[in-house]
Amino acid sequence: MLPGAGLDLTRLTPGEWDHLSLTGLDEKQRAELNASVESQRALSKIGATQPRRVHELLPLTDVVHVDSRPWLQTRASGTTPASLIGSVRRGRRLRIEYDSPRESCPRDLVVDPYGLFAKAGIWYLVADCARAPRMYRLERITAWTAVDQPRRIRESQTLATVAAALVDQWEHNHAIEVSATIDQTQIERAQRIFGQRLAQDDYEESATGHKVTIRFLHLEDVRALLPFGSAITVHGPTEARAHLSNLATNLAHHYAPSPTS
C-alpha cells in the first residue's frame, strides 16, 4: 500500500484476510490450495480502491509476473494441497502412507503436522514423526487419513522455524565430500546442478579445468556425476572413485552390443 492510500478493511471477509496474507504464492499454487476465488476477490476489492498512479508509473501487476515452478516440471500426482489443508488447519494428527525413493515399499507413518510448505514449485508436508522433524513431498504421499487426536508438536516451534531448519540441514549436511576437477566448458552446468553443494577453489584453476569440492548426502548420490562423463575427474575419496567405476562399468555392459549369433 502506498503512503496515504486508504482501504476499507471492513470490506474484507476473514477468509479473504487469511488468503491475502499468503505471500509468495503464484496463481497456480493458490489454485492448488483451492484459494483462487477468495484471493482474487480480496485483490479485486483492493484494486477497486487503488489511488492514482504516482508520476504515471505503471501498476506493478502490469509489469511483474511470478511463476515459481521449476523448468520442465512434470505434472504432480499423489496427494494435493487442497485435499490435505482442511485436516492440517484443524490441527489433527495424520496417518500417511509414504512412498520414499530410498525404501523398497511405502511406509505407514503417524505424523504431527506443522503445515504445508511450498518450495520451488513443489509442495511438502512439514511434520514431526516420533518427535523428529521431517519433510514429506506431497506427491509421494499415496494415502492418508486424519487421526482423531490433536497434533503434538514441539513447543516454541512453528511451521516457519521447522521448515527453515530442515532446508538448512538438507543444503549443508553431508556424509561425503568429493574432490574433483571439472572441465572449463562444464563448470557453469555443474554450478546450476549442484548449487551450494559445490565449492570452487579459486586458487586451483587452469585454462582447462576447475578444482572443486562437491558435498553429497550419501555415497550413492555420486552417480549424479555420471552425466558429465570424462569432463569431470574425481580425485577422492577412494570409495567415491570406486563407486563411479562400478557404475560406469555396469553402464557400459548395459549398452554393449549384443553378441552376433
Between 20 and 165, residue with greater pLDDT:
165
Cell of 189: 552446468
Answer yes or no: pTM beyond 0.95.
no
Question: What is the pLDDT, as a whole number, of residue 41?
Answer: 66
- E strand or H helix that includes residue 216: strand 209-216
Cell of 1: 500500500
pLDDT tens readout for residues 124-168? 999 999 999 999 999 999 999 999 999 999 999 999 999 999 998
Question: What is the pLDDT, as a whole number, of residue 152?
Answer: 95
- E strand or H helix that includes residue 212: strand 209-216
Checking 31-35 for CB contacts under 8 A at 24+ apart, the result is 32/80, 32/81, 32/82, 32/123, 33/81, 33/82, 33/85, 33/116, 34/82, 34/85
Q: Which position has the grid cell 577422492?
A: 236
Q: How confident is the model at residue 51 (pLDDT cuts 50, 70, 90)?
A: low
The architecture (CATH level 2) of 81-164 comes to: Roll (2.30)
Sequence spans of domains, the chain: 9-63, 81-164, 176-253
- For the segment 164-176, the average pLDDT, to the nearest whole number, is 86
Cα gap 129→102, rounded to integer Å? 17
CB 220 within 8 A of CB 244: no
Q: How confident is the model at residue 15 (pLDDT cuts 50, 70, 90)?
A: low
CATH topology of domain 176-253: Alpha-Beta Plaits (3.30.70)
Q: What is the CA radius of gyration of the chain?
A: 24
